[in-house]
């Protein structure tokens, strides 16, 4: 039985070992795995929850590396399909001392972009409590977009709670208008939506967290929206009218922002799996995002339960009973 199921494109990430050197000039790289949904799967398992990951990789060394890495992390691979026709997507990533790193993606026509619904329509959803999806997978191909639509309908038919991270990747879409229309349509099918204020500005023309939340609460199935507002934390609003601004955590040094948003998502998801309140879920999302930006990898900062507890202790807060100290009633 798996508590979480997620679907996406995994990437083999060749991360530069040389700081502030361009990808073109770097000569030393460390091989890792990445991808938004994959990051969430790894972090969810690290916090003690069972998870199954759906994807397709190439029947070649990079695909083998992905499958072996997933098994090492304890992520379920029952639905990791292999293609003898298409290759695994990969990425080269710069290492920087501050700001966002440059990346070079090689994912066009990847194996994951050819994952069709007829390959996954018999997936066993028994025991699944949450399905986590993002706006990245439908961007990689028309096939992926159709697969996601049909998979979401399957989840709805089986009464499975859906979380959706808007996760914009403009370079992967044929146009900005197509991206906006598609992402908003997918978001309307989710039970909880996790946008950022920058994404809200692109998708809805506003950076106001409450306006962003109201759009998805009033135009879809969502019972809650949690808007990421950067270092300030996150804004929570539910269909019942509950609102809170949950403060972020101070970080002395930002090493790499990649994976912070995925860390936020897994924080929210795992807290909900444990029956915690939406405010506590947002607090955990803030905490894991803060931990992640202090590490160089895509998912190196995701904590175990013990590490998460120690982080809360170092900040003088706990999820149980003290979230109000980090929440300002709006």
Under DSSP, is residue 125 helix (H, G, I), strand (E, B) or coil? coil
Nearest of 190, 187, 217, 221 to residue 202 by alpha carbon: 187
Token pair 């191909």: residue: 141
Burial string for 247-286 (b: 16+ CB within 10 Å, else e) reads bbbeeeebbbebbbbbbbbbbbbbbbbbebebbbbbbbbb
Could you tell me if 209 and 227 are in contact, meaning their C-beta atoms sit under 8 angstroms apart? Answer: yes
For 84, half-sphere exposure in the C-beta direction (CA atoms, 13 angstrom radius) is 0
Burial class (CB in 10 A: 0-12, 13-18, 19+), 195: buried
Q: Which of 191, 256, 262, 298 is catalytic?
A: 262
Tokens of residue 96, six digits: 């920087």
Could you tell me if 246 and 233 are in contact, meaning their C-beta atoms sit under 8 angstroms apart? Answer: yes
Tokens of residue 162, six digits: 């859906």
C-beta atoms surrounding 230 within 10 Å: 12
191 is catalytic: no
User: H helices of the chain, where?
Assistant: 36-46, 61-73, 142-157, 176-187, 197-204, 209-218, 260-273, 278-292, 305-315
Nearest of 93, 102, 133, 28 to residue 297 by alpha carbon: 93
3-state helix, strand, coil in the chain (%, to 5): 40, 25, 40
Active centre residues (catalytic): 262
């Amino acid at each position: 039985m798996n508590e979480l199921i997620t679907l996406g494109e995994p990437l083999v990430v060749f991360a530069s070992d040389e700081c502030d050197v361009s990808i073109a000039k770097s000569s030393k790289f460390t091989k890792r795995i990445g991808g938004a949904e994959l990051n969430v799967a790894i972090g969810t398992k690290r916090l003690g929850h069972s998870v199954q990951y759906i994807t397709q990789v190439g029947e070649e060394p990079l695909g083998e590396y992905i499958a072996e890495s997933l098994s090492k992390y304890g992520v379920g691979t029952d639905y990791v399909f292999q293609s003898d026709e298409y290759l695994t997507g990969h990425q080269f990533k710069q290492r920087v001392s501050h700001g966002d790193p440059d990346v070079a993606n090689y994912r066009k026509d990847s194996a994951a972009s050819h994952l069709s619904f007829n390959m996954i329509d018999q997936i066993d959803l028994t025991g699944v409590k949450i399905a986590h999806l993002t706006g990245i997978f439908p961007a990689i191909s028309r096939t992926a977009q159709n697969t996601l639509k049909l998979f979401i309908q399957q989840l709805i038919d089986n009464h499975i709670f859906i979380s959706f991270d808007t996760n914009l990747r403009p370079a992967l879409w044929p146009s900005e208008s197509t991206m906006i229309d598609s992402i908003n349509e997918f978001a309307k099918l989710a039970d909880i939506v996790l946008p950022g204020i920058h994404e809200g500005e692109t998708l809805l023309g506003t950076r106001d967290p409450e306006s962003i939340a109201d759009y998805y609460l009033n135009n879809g199935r969502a019972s809650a929206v949690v808007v990421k507002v950067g270092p300030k934390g996150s804004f929570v609003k539910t269909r019942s009218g509950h609102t809170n601004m949950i403060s972020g955590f101070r970080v002395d040094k930002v090493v790499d922002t990649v994976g912070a948003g995925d860390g936020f998502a897994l924080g929210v998801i795992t807290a909900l799996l444990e029956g915690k309140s939406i405010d506590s879920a947002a607090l955990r999302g803030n905490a894991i995002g803060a931990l992640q930006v202090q590490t160089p990898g895509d998912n190196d900062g995701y904590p175990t339960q013990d590490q998460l507890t120690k982080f809360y202790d170092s900040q003088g807060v706990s999820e149980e009973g003290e979230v109000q100290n980090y929440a300002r009633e709006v």
